[in-house]
Amino acid sequence: MKLVEHFQHGLDAPICLTWELTYACNLSCVHCLSSSGRRDPRELSTEECKAVVDELQRLQVFYVNIGGGEPTVRSDFWEIVEYAVDHQVGVKFSTNGVRITPERARWLAESDYVDVQLSLDGATPEVNDPVRGDGSFDTTMTAMRNLRDAGFTGFKISVVMTRHNIGQLDEFKRIADEFDAQLRITRLRPSGRGADTWDELHPLPEQQLELYDWLVAHGEDVLTGDSFFHLNALGSTPLPGLNLCGAGRVVCLIDPVGDVYACPFAIHEEFRGGNVRDEGGFTGVWRGSDLFSRLREPQTGGACSSCSAFDSCQGGCMAAKFFTGLPLDGPDPECVKGNGERALELVGAGAPKPTPDKDHSRTGKKKQTGVPVAIGWGPPEPERLPDRACDTSPLAGMPAPREVR
C-alpha cells in the first residue's frame, strides 16, 4: 500500500504539528492566517506549555513548528523551546525576526534541534512592507544578517506567494543563497485576515503557470510545505510531495489557548476538535474527537471525481474552499482548470460565505481591506488603557527580554 493511503486513515500522532504560542504580534500582516495582534488572556501558561511538550514526548511527536502571532514576544519563549528540545521534541519556529539579536543568533547557532524560519513576503521593501508592515523588511533582513554572522546556516526563508511577488522568485532564491539559507515558498490561503485580502493577493491564473514552471525547474532545492499540489493539473511533471490534504490525518494545530484544529489554516469552530485542557488532553482530541475521525474517513471527490487531474490534485485545499464558501467536496477556488472560478461566481450570487470567527486583530485592524495599507507598530500608547483583558497591547505582561536595546 502506498504511504499516502496509510496517511488517509490517520496516524497515532501527527507528523506535522503546528503550535502557535501566542496571538500577540508586533506586526499585523494583511494575510495573517490566525488574525493575530492581541494576546489572548486565556493563553496557555508556561507550565501548561511544558505539559503539552511532555505529552508530545510521550506521543513521540519528534518535531513541532512553532508559530503565532510572533512567538518570540512571549517572555517564556526561549524557556519553552529549551524545554522542548530537552524532551526530544525538535523545534522549528517561525518569526518575523524582531527578537533575533546578535546574541540570540549565537545562542541559536549553538543549539542542536532548533531551526529558524523567517517570514519575508517580498524581495524588496516595496513589495514586502505593504503586506507585512512598514519596516518589516529591514527587521527580517537584520535578523538574517545576525544569523549569518553567528554562523547559523540552513535557516528557512519563508515566502507566501502573492500576485505581487511571484515575479520575484529568482530574487528570493538569490537572497536565500546569499545567506546560505533555504527558500521555502507556500501557498496563500484565505484564512484569518487572509479571508479579507485573498481576492486582491492570490496569484492570477496566468501566474499559476509561471509558479508551476518555476517549481518544476527549481523544486529540488526549494521547500514548499507541499502546498501547491493543486497546481499538478497544469503539467505532466507532478510536483514532489504527498499530494494529500493532511488536515486531521497527519497535520494539526494547537493554538495559543490550547484549542486543537485540524489544520493551521482552518482556525474556525467547524474544524476545532477540542482543547488540550480537556480531560483526555491533546491525545484524546487527536485520537478520539468526532471531527478528526470524520476527516479520516474516505472522502468523496464530488464534482472533482471526474477530473483527469484528481489523482494528483485531490480537489485541492479544504481550508481554501471553506473560507471562500465553496463545497468541501468540489474544486479548489484556484482550480487550474477554471472550475473554482465558476464555482466562486455562484457563491458570489448566493449564500454568504463563512468568515473566520477567531479574530485577535488589534482594534481598528479588523475590517481591514485593501492592500497596501500603512501599518505602524511600536510600544503601546500608555494613554490608551485597555477596557478588556483581551484588548491589551500584544506585549502586555511580557517584559522585554534583556537583549533588546
Partner 1 sequence: MSTETFAPDRPYRLSPSVALRPEPFGALVYDFTTRKLSFLKTRLLVDVVHALDDAPDAHAALRSAEVPDDDHDRYLDALAGLASAGTIEVRGD
Partner 2 sequence: MSENHTVTTAEADIEEDLLVEEVSIDGMCGVY
**Alpha carbon distance 312, 295 (integer Å):** 19
**Residue 250 contact partner, candidates partner 1, partner 2, ligand SF4, none, CB within 5 to 8 A by sort of partner:** partner 2
- Using CB under 8 A, pick the residue from 220, 279, 290, 383 that binds partner 2: 220
Task: State the Rg of the chain over Cα.
Answer: 20
End-to-end CA distance of the chain: 56
For the segment 336-375, give every residue that binds partner 2 (CB under 8 A). Answer: none
**Residue 182 contact partner, candidates partner 1, ligand SF4, partner 2, none, CB within 5 to 8 A by sort of partner:** partner 2
- Using CB under 6 A, pick the residue from 254, 318, 343, 344 that binds ligand SF4: 318
CB-nearer residue toward ligand SF4: 254 or 309: 309
**Do residues 116 and 71 touch, judged by C-beta distance below 8 A?**
no
C-alpha cell at 164: 505581487
For the segment 272-331, give every residue that binds partner 2 (CB under 8 A). Answer: 311-312, 317
CB-nearer residue toward partner 2: 222 or 335: 222
CB-nearer residue toward partner 1: 220 or 381: 220
Residue 333, interface with partner 2 (CB under 8 A)? no
CB-nearer residue toward partner 2: 16 or 396: 16
CB-nearer residue toward ligand SF4: 13 or 247: 247
CB-nearer residue toward partner 1: 81 or 267: 81
- Using CB under 8 A, pick the residue from 46, 50, 54, 63 that binds partner 1: 63
Please report how close the Cβ of residue 339 comes to ligand SF4 at its closest, in angstroms.
4
Residue 133, interface with ligand SF4 (CB under 6 A)? no
**Alpha carbon distance 399, 405 (integer Å):** 13
Give the number of residues written for the chain: 405
Please report how close the Cβ of residue 6 comes to partner 1 at its closest, in angstroms.
5
Residue 247, interface with ligand SF4 (CB under 6 A)? yes
Q: Is the peptide bond before 69 cis (omega within 30 degrees of 0)?
A: yes
**Alpha carbon distance 70, 93 (integer Å):** 10
Per-residue exposure over 9-44, b if at least 16 CB sit within 10 Å of its own CB, e if not:
ebeebbebbbbbbbbbbbbbbbbbbbbbbbbbeebb
CA 240 to chain centre: 20
Angle at CA of residue 56, ends 50 and 57, nearest 5°: 90
CB-nearer residue toward partner 1: 45 or 60: 60
Query: Tell me, what amino acid is at 182?
Result: Q
What is the residue whose three cell numbers read 482548470?
Answer: 337
> Given strand 90-95, what is the order of strands in its sheet?
182-187, 156-161, 114-119, 90-95, 63-67, 16-20, 251-254, 259-261, 272-275
- Using CB under 8 A, pick the residue from 241, 301, 372, 380 that binds partner 2: 241
Residue 161, interface with ligand SF4 (CB under 6 A)? no
Please report how close the Cβ of residue 297 comes to partner 1 at its closest, in angstroms.
16
For the segment 170-199, give every residue that binds ligand SF4 (CB under 6 A). Answer: 189
**Residue 208 contact partner, candidates partner 1, partner 2, ligand SF4, none, CB within 5 to 8 A by sort of partner:** none
For the segment 102-141, give every residue that binds partner 1 (CB under 8 A). Answer: 112-113, 115
Reduce the DSSP state of residue 168 to 3 states and report it: helix
C-alpha to C-alpha distances, 89 to 57, 86, 154, 343, nearest whole angstrom: 6, 7, 19, 42
Residue 221, interface with partner 2 (CB under 8 A)? yes
User: Which residues form the interface with partner 2 (CB under 8 A)?
Assistant: 1-4, 15-16, 18, 20, 31, 33, 63, 65, 67, 94, 117, 119, 158, 160, 182, 184, 186, 219-227, 238-243, 245-247, 250-251, 263-265, 311-312, 317
